[in-house]
Amino acid sequence: MPDTLPAKRAGEAPPPESSELFQAVGGEPGLRAIIDHFVDRLFEDVMIGYLFRAADRSRVKAKEYEFAARQLGAPITYSGRPIPDAHRAHRITGGQFMRRLQILKETLLTFRVPANVSEPWLAHTLSLQSEITNNALDECDPSHTNRARSTPG
Ligand code: HEM
């Protein structure tokens, strides 16, 4: 490898030529509008909104923006907590993970985000599932079940 190409380190800004996806959503103003709408939907959602009741909405917007921008190749650094640390205490189930994914899909459709951006974004989100929830995507947390127990006899 030529020594003109420095090794990539965690948290390091990517080279500007890799920010095409970030530019495709309108750069900072475009992505901030998408994330603001997305986070508002998360906080107000009937299924998962309760998880955010003690969270600081403007902080979540700011950190989700950085995380998404970085992932789309913007030359910025994510300054939030590591993803597993931010979510561990919430004991997020597979179904809750899927609900956030659905809200993200709907948000990207609302903002007419092109498929060459939305597909890798959604795939990247799915790839983080094991850092956020311990059970499979289509499973519920067994300790949260409200199914009636079958009693013998
Ligand atoms: C790949 C998927 C996800 C990503 C990229 C993501 C990203 C983030 C980021 C960047 C933060 C802010 C961290 C900080 O404050 O430093 C955050 C916070 C949070 N996220 Fe997620 N998240 C994901 C999935 C989920 C899911 C599935 C849920 C629940 C259904 C969820 C619920 C929360 C909550 C409740 C907070 C506030 C944490 C707190 O302040 O205690 N997240 N998330």
Question: Do the domain assignments include residue 153?
Answer: no
Question: Do the domain assignments include residue 97?
Answer: yes
Q: Cβ(27) to ligand 1 under 6 A?
A: no
Spacing, Cα 5 to ligand 1 middle (Å): 33
Question: Residue 28: which of 64, 74, 78 has the closest Cα?
Answer: 74
Q: Cβ(55) to ligand 1 under 6 A?
A: yes
The tens digit of pLDDT for each residue in 112-148 reads: 999 999 999 999 999 999 999 976 544 555 555 444 4
Q: How far is CA 29 from CA 26, 33, 41, in A?
A: 6, 6, 19
Neighbours of 147 (CB within 10 A): 7
Question: Do the domain assignments include residue 106?
Answer: yes
Q: What number does the ligand 1 atom closest to the CA of 131 have?
A: 1
Provide the greatest CA pair distance for the chain: 76
Spacing, Cα 16 to ligand 1 middle (Å): 27
pLDDT of 67 reads: 98
pLDDT of 17 reads: 53
Q: What number does the ligand 1 atom closest to the CA of 80 have?
A: 16
Domain count, the chain: 1
Spacing, Cα 27 to ligand 1 middle (Å): 22
Question: Do the domain assignments include residue 88?
Answer: yes
- Contact between 39 and 64 (Cβ < 8 Å): yes
User: Chain-centre distance of CA 126, in angstroms?
Assistant: 9
Query: What is the DSSP-derived secondary structure letter of residue 60?
Result: H
Q: What is the pTM of this model?
A: 0.84
Cα–Cα dist 63/77, whole Å? 10
CATH number at residue 69: 1.10.490.10
The tens digit of pLDDT for each residue in 59-79 reads: 999 999 999 999 999 999 999
Q: What number does the ligand 1 atom closest to the CA of 124 have?
A: 1
Question: Do the domain assignments include residue 149?
Answer: no
The domain in which residue 26 lies consists of 21-139
Q: Cβ(81) to ligand 1 under 6 A?
A: yes
Checking if the pLDDT of 42 tops 70, the result is yes
- Contact between 98 and 139 (Cβ < 8 Å): no
CA dihedral 136, 138, 140, 142 (to 10 degrees): -60
Question: Do the domain assignments include residue 84?
Answer: yes
The tens digit of pLDDT for each residue in 7-30 reads: 444 444 554 457 999 999 999 999
